[in-house]
């Protein structure tokens, strides 16, 4: 339990004033807490500007009640937050030195995108709208969390998602190291899992699956080896067809269905081919087939439909114009 005995006194930053500087004082009032098992007896109540001043000058108070939105986005000086925090919204996006979030938080929203030093997340949170940790450095999240949305997109180091988490929508797209979900996870709406490491759902979790926003079933999500190239060709819905192609992969798709050869030439790896497969109601698939001269492996690289030569396709994959691509040695 944290205790803050402000008693309505003036709280000022513990630093010496230099020549010409004025002492900054913040008038705070104590507010009764509503969670006696997790919160101090009273917590200072401050405006957003006063809160920012307190946090910047330090020391960080253990508990704080902010009367509006607390926007600290992009603050390189921010290293810590109060353990107990109440505010209408909390924005710490892009704070590179912030390594911990409050362990007891109530807010309408939390934006902690791209907080690269944030690795461990735990605590007791109640966030009405949503929690966004996408692109952060979080490795484990083990929290008592209630929110409408939990967004963890591209948290590539995330390996554990556990705790009593109840959300309407969960996004773990791009979380390649996340292979399982916690048994106590509760999702009432949908789960976005494109490019995650998930191979199955926990027993008892019934949720609508999405792949880049497109509804999919468990077979498409977890067993792409059962998708055949012909199934991709025969799928009339454009969005679903794109998901199936994404899951099967361009290389296996072309190996199964073939395509029209637009161009062929040779490089250090041997023959190259530029192949085109038309689709109804969508742009055609155009890919260059190349062989690695070092390993002998065969690769299919998708390129834009306007490219008509193998040399132009390979140059495009290198981010160059065809006339600029003159490799002295390809490996």
Assess whether pLDDT exceeds 60 at residue 280. Answer: yes
Average pLDDT on 295-324 reads: 89
237-243, long-range: CB < 8 A, 24+ apart: 238/279, 238/281, 238/282, 239/214, 240/214, 240/216, 241/279, 241/282, 242/214, 242/282, 243/211, 243/212, 243/214, 243/216
Assess whether pLDDT exceeds 90 at residue 18. Answer: no
328: pLDDT confidence band, cut at 50, 70 and 90?
A: low
What is the Cα–Cα distance from 229 to 60, expressed in whole angstroms?
A: 58
Average pLDDT on 104-121 reads: 97
Tell me how crowded residue 48 is: count the other CB atoms within 10 A of its CB: 17
Assess whether pLDDT exceeds 80 at residue 96. Answer: yes
323: pLDDT confidence band, cut at 50, 70 and 90?
A: low
Sequence-distant (≥ 6) Cβ neighbours of residue 244 within 8 angstroms: 220, 227, 231, 232, 235
Average pLDDT on 172-193 reads: 96
- Cis ω before 59 (30° cut-off from 0): yes
Average pLDDT on 221-242 reads: 96
Choose among 67, 101, 59, 108: nearest CA to 84.
101
Domain ranges of the chain: 25-225, 226-324
Average pLDDT on 182-186 reads: 93
What is the Cα–Cα distance from 153 to 161, expressed in whole angstroms?
A: 13
Assess whether pLDDT exceeds 80 at residue 185. Answer: yes
DSSP line for 47-61: -HHHHHHHHHHSPPP
Assess whether pLDDT exceeds 70 at residue 192. Answer: yes
Assess whether pLDDT exceeds 80 at residue 283. Answer: yes
What is the Cα–Cα distance from 235 to 253, expressed in whole angstroms?
A: 14
327: pLDDT confidence band, cut at 50, 70 and 90?
A: low
pLDDT in tens, 158-170: 999 999 999 999 9
What is the chain's mean pLDDT, rounded?
87
Give the pLDDT of residue 73: 97
233: pLDDT confidence band, cut at 50, 70 and 90?
A: very high
Q: Is the dihedral of CA 220, 214, 113, 46 positive or negative?
A: negative
23: pLDDT confidence band, cut at 50, 70 and 90?
A: very low
Q: What three-state secondary structure class fits 4?
A: coil
Higher pLDDT, 28 or 318: 318
pLDDT in tens, 199-215: 999 998 999 999 999 99
What is the Cα–Cα distance from 261 to 265, expressed in whole angstroms?
A: 11
- Partners of 165 in beta bridges: 145
DSSP line for 166-191: EEEEEE-TT-TT-----TT-EEEEEE
Q: Cα-Cα-Cα-Cα dihedral of 260, 264, 270, 276, to 10°?
A: -30
What is the Cα–Cα distance from 307 to 288, expressed in whole angstroms?
A: 10
179-188, long-range: CB < 8 A, 24+ apart: 181/205, 182/142, 185/161
Give the pLDDT of residue 293: 84
Give the pLDDT of residue 294: 83
Assess whether pLDDT exceeds 90 at residue 135. Answer: yes
């Amino acid at each position: 339990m944290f205790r803050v005995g402000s008693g309505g006194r003036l709280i000022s930053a513990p630093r010496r004033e230099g020549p010409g500087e004025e002492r900054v004082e913040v008038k705070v009032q104590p507010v009764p807490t509503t969670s006696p098992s997790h919160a101090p007896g009273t917590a200072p109540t401050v405006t957003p500007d006063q809160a920012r001043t307190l946090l910047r000058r330090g020391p960080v108070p253990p508990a704080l009640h902010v009367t509006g939105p607390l926007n600290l986005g992009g603050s390189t000086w921010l290293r810590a937050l109060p353990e107990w925090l109440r505010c209408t919204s909390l924005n710490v996006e892009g704070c590179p030195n912030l390594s911990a979030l409050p362990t007891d938080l109530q807010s309408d929203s939390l934006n902690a995108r791209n907080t690269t030093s944030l690795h461990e997340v735990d605590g007791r949170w109640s966030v009405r709208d949503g929690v966004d940790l996408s692109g952060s450095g979080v490795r484990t999240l083990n929290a008592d969390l209630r929110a409408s949305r939990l967004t963890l997109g591209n948290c590539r180091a995330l390996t554990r998602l556990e705790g009593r988490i109840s959300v309407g929508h969960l996004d773990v797209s791009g979380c390649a190291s996340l292979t399982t979900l916690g048994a106590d996870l509760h999702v009432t709406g949908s789960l976005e899992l494109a490019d995650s490491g998930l191979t199955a759902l926990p027993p008892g979790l019934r949720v609508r699956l999405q792949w880049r926003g497109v509804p999919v079933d468990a077979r498409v999500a977890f067993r792409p080896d059962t998708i055949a190239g012909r199934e991709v060709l025969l799928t009339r819905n454009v969005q679903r067809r794109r998901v199936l192609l994404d899951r099967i992969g361009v290389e296996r798709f072309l190996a199964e269905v073939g395509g029209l050869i637009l161009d062929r030439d040779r490089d250090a790896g041997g023959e190259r081919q530029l192949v085109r497969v038309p689709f109804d109601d969508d742009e055609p698939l155009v890919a260059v087939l190349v062989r690695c001269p070092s390993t002998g492996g065969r690769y299919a690289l998708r390129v834009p439909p306007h490219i008509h030569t193998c040399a132009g396709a390979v140059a495009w994959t290198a981010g160059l114009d065809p006339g600029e691509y003159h490799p002295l040695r390809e490996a």
